[in-house]
Amino acid sequence: MPPKKTTSKAEMENEMQDIRKSLNHLTEELFKVTHQLTKLMGLFDEVKQLRDLIKEKDQTINELEMRIDQLEQYTRMEDVIITGLSVKPRSYAKAAAVGRNVSVVADIEDVQSLERQVVTFLMGKDIHLDANNIAVCHTLPRKDTKQPAIILSFVNRKYKIDLLRQGRKLKGTNVYLNEHLTKRNAEIAREARMLRRNDKIKATWTRNCKIFIQLKGSTPEQARVILIRH
């Protein structure tokens, strides 16, 4: 049996010194990692603060956009949009022939002619309308159709409501009466009509430029009416 190998004191001290060096190196590396983690945590906090700030700003922007849309919609509360009605400008050709000096008069004549055409058409469909209650009548060109939409603005909201109630008399004419919605509300109304076409809801309509839908269901709770704002 061979004799056991003995470790000298010098060898033990060398091993201990190597261990100390390794521990010191590990301590330094651990300190570097801890320092980097501290930096990362600080960056995470900054990112979180930025996200919260962006969220608050987005909410403020949304609220301001909603407020602007509400104000814009309020200015259209007395308006009715007529689509599908063919009208002819009466004085444009005459104005072009005579020259620029009568352009203002021609514009006035066009407006008066347009108003008369609209009133004559509606009254021909047994729709009661007093032209004296019309404040403004003008066209609103659209890119998706050759026939421009026509805006009737009344002196009082009750005349608009009365006209809209008679809109069912236009069934089968391809002429439609609708409230003058803002772009945002028009998009909401369009989405609601898509839901109706896809049989996802029972009905949809607008009242005072607000969009409503009625859900499908056999009970009053299931078939409730909801005001849609978004």
- Tens digits of residue pLDDT in 161-175: 999 999 999 999 999
> Within 10 A of 189 (CB to CB), how many other CB atoms are there?
22
Mean pLDDT confidence for 131-148: 82
Torsion of the alpha carbons at 118, 121, 124 and 130, rounded to the nearest 10 = 0
More confident residue, 78 or 221: 78
Alpha helices in the chain (DSSP H): 9-74, 92-98, 103-124, 157-165, 183-197
**Cα 181 from Cα 185, distance rounded (Å):** 6
More confident residue, 20 or 7: 20
Q: What is the pTM of this model?
A: 0.67
Provide the pLDDT for residue 92. Answer: 47
State phi, psi for 150 to the nearest 5 degrees: -120, 130
Provide the pLDDT for residue 105. Answer: 47
Three-state SS for 147? coil
* Sign (positive or negative) of CA dihedral 204, 207, 212, 214: negative
pLDDT at 89 over 80: no
Q: 223: Cβ–Cβ under 8 A, 6 or more apart, which residues?
A: 202, 214, 215, 216, 217
